[in-house]
Structure formats: C-alpha cells, structure tokens
Amino acid sequence: MSGTSLDGMDVAYCRFQYDRAKGWQYELLQACTIPYTAQWKHRLSNLFTATAEQYALTHVEYGHLIGKTIRQFIQENNLKVDFVSSHGHTVFHQPERQFTAQIGEGAAIAAECDLPVVSDFRTMDVAYQGQGAPLVPIGDELLFGEYDYCLNIGGIMNISYRNDNERIAYDVAPANMAMNYFAEKMGQPYDKDGLIAKKGILDKAMYQALNELPYYKRNFPKSLGREWFEHCFLPVVLHYNNNIENTMHTICHHMAYQLSQIVHKGNILITGGGAKNKYLISLLEQYMPEVKVIIPDNKLIEYKEALIFAFLGVLRITNSVNCLKSVTGAGKNVTGGAVYYNTNF
C-alpha cells in the first residue's frame, strides 16, 4: 500500500488463521518500505492535475510497478504466497460526490507477479453512500480488540473505537500530510522526532482558526483527503504567514487538541509514522493525562495498515464483510474489493 505521505510503497508478508475460541490471529512475518524514486513521487503527488490519458496510463504503469516490486520481494525472501492484497495509492477521495479513486490496476499487478490480486477496496462502500474510509477498523475490531482506541498517525490521523457496542472510526485531522509539507520546505523529507516543531512557539490565532474549521464540528462518519487539506486546512495555515518552526509547532498542538476531544480515558494503541514523532507523542500525553499511550514495536508501527489491508484481502477472498457501515455510514456492510483471479488460485 501507499499512504498520502508518499513515504514509499509498504510491502508486508502476513499469515492469518482463525480459531473458534481465540478468533482471528495474525503474524506479521516480513515487511519493508520501498522508497519512491523522485520521478514517481513527483508523478503521484501531481496526478490529480493530469489529463485523463495521463491518469489512465499512470493507473496501469503504477500497477506494473507494484507487481514488479511484489515479485522481487517474494523472490528475494523465498516466500510462498497465496494472493496479493493491494490498496494502491489514493489520488481522489470525494465521497460526498460518491467517488474515490485508488490507482494501481489489479490486472497489471496480477500479470507481473503471476498471483491472484485483490484491489479497489473502497468503491463498493462509496457506491452504498459510505465514506469509503477508514477501512482499517474491521482489522482493529478483529485483530486488535484488546485496545480501547486504535490511532494511526499517517498522512492523516484516524481513530477507531467501540461506541455503543459497535465499531466506529473517522479521520481526526491532517498529520504527516501537513508536517511533511512544511518539513520539505526546510529541505527535510519529514520532521525527525518532531525536532523542528519542538523549536517553535504556539501561534494562538492560527491554533484557534484551525480548531474552528467546520469539519471538526461534523458528526461521524466523516473522512479527509488531499483535497480538503489543500482547499480548507492549508489556506488557514498560510494566512498567518508564520515561520516554519512555529507553524509546525502549532499544527502539532492542533492535532493533540483534536484527539483530546475524543479520547478521555483508557488506553490507546498508536501506529503509523507519526508514532515516532517524540514531540507529538509528548503533546498527546500532555493533552490526555488520564490516557495510557501505547507505542508498539517498530514493525507494527510501520506496517499495521499494510497488515490490515492484507487481512481485508483475506475477508474478501472468503466472502466475508470487510467494511463496516457503522464506520463509513454506508447503507449496508459490504465485502469490498475486485478480485483478479488466475490459474494459480
């Protein structure tokens, strides 16, 4: 899979089994992140402005790139694989207009790695008037149910928890999408340990304006995408014309405040690249003094989402529900994903 922060392509080799007494069990056996070349990073980050022909071509060529990457990963690690589960890379996400688009053509992936492929996980839910996001909560429910809250800090910060005996989830605020945007202006790919943000001081006017954005007053289900970041969030930040340290410092406080409006007690499992941002984590603990913050090992921090998308593929192959209407607001629970079979299945 590939996240909005464009760090690279995450590849994970996972094993799942079901036990009637224990439920679903998982093993995250091997995983790595393949960084994008400068050319691919530029191409993916600007694809939303491309022509229809460029978009269609990139959809196919990116699928071939995914397939070749998987084939090399399998060969280098001498793996026996049943099928591939691919999230792809999100280019458009506008569920209010009933469309979402993740590139990486499943047929191209299947042709390159000669394996069955499950892809295009979100569109079925959106077709039933759902947000098509987040999809990870079914994995939180079935694989990580021992935690009160599951938080992923990737390009976007999203949360999952049980409410009135059903799983709900939604996007909390922009995270690495915003932080990386400003870190790159200082010649850094990201803010390691939050050291840039830590140097800044709080811009109270910016902080207040961000917290007043209409999205935060909406009830769930709700989700964010690149479009909202660029059209709603970024203009507010840029309006205050502060230096980068102060801007990133303020955004971190904004993220911590928004999460504190949701989580008040219990424990919270934090994964995603933002879990390594020591300054941000310290702010979360400051804003949520009665909450036990749990940071797992690096493998789970970096590859929990990849693990769960592999699990979504298992649920799709077994014709089980893998997208919850309680999370997305869809008209029904659905089994999402297009399957590209071949003779090996």
Q: Between the CA of residue 126 and those of 3, 30, 41, 96, 264, what are the distances in Å? A: 19, 32, 27, 9, 31
**What are the structure tokens assigned to 27, written together?**
């093993």
Nearest by Cα to 112 from 61, 186, 182, 53: 61
pLDDT < 70 stretches in the chain: 4-5, 343-345
Q: What's at 287, amino acid-wise?
A: Y
Rounded Cα distance, 53 and 40, in Å: 17
Please name which of 127, 124, 118 lies closest in space to residue 311, comparing C-alpha atoms. 118
pLDDT reported for residue 291? 98
Q: How many CA atoms lie within 13 A of 221 on its CB side?
A: 25
Among the listed residues 230, 309, 213, the one whose alpha carbon sits nearest the alpha carbon of residue 12: 309
**Tens digit of pLDDT for each residue in 276-298?**
999 999 999 999 999 999 999 99
User: Residue 36, SS3?
Assistant: coil
Query: Is 146-300 in the same CATH topology as 9-135+303-340?
Result: yes
pLDDT on residue 344: 57
Are 26 and 16 spatial neighbours (Cβ–Cβ below 8 Å)? yes
Q: Name 203's Cβ contacts closer than 8 Å, sequence gap at least 6.
A: 240, 242, 246, 247, 249, 250
Question: Residue 229 has which token pair?
Answer: 């970041």
Give Cα separations from 317 to 16, 30, 171 (angstroms): 13, 22, 27
| All residues at 6 or more sequence positions from 36 whose CB lies less than 8 Å from its CB, including other chains | 6, 8, 9, 44
Contacts of 251 (CB under 8 A, 6+ apart): 174, 178, 179, 182, 197, 210, 237
CATH class of 146-300: alpha beta
**Gyration radius (Cα) of the chain, Å:** 19
For 178-186, which contacts have Cβ atoms below 8 Å and span 24 or more sequence positions? 178/229, 178/233, 178/234, 178/237, 178/251, 179/248, 179/251, 179/252, 179/274, 179/277, 180/5, 180/6, 180/155, 181/234, 182/244, 182/247, 182/248, 182/251, 183/244, 183/248, 185/244, 186/244
Residue 33: half-sphere exposure toward Cβ, Cα within 13 Å: 20
Say if CB 136 and CB 319 are below 8 A apart.
no
DSSP symbol at 282: H
Domain positions in the chain are 9-135+303-340, 146-300
Range 9-135+303-340: architecture per CATH: 2-Layer Sandwich (3.30)
Distances (CA, A) of 220 to 87, 140, 160, 171, 329: 23, 17, 11, 9, 8
Residue 40, both tokens: 């691919």
User: Do 337 and 118 form a contact (C-beta atoms < 8 A)?
Assistant: yes
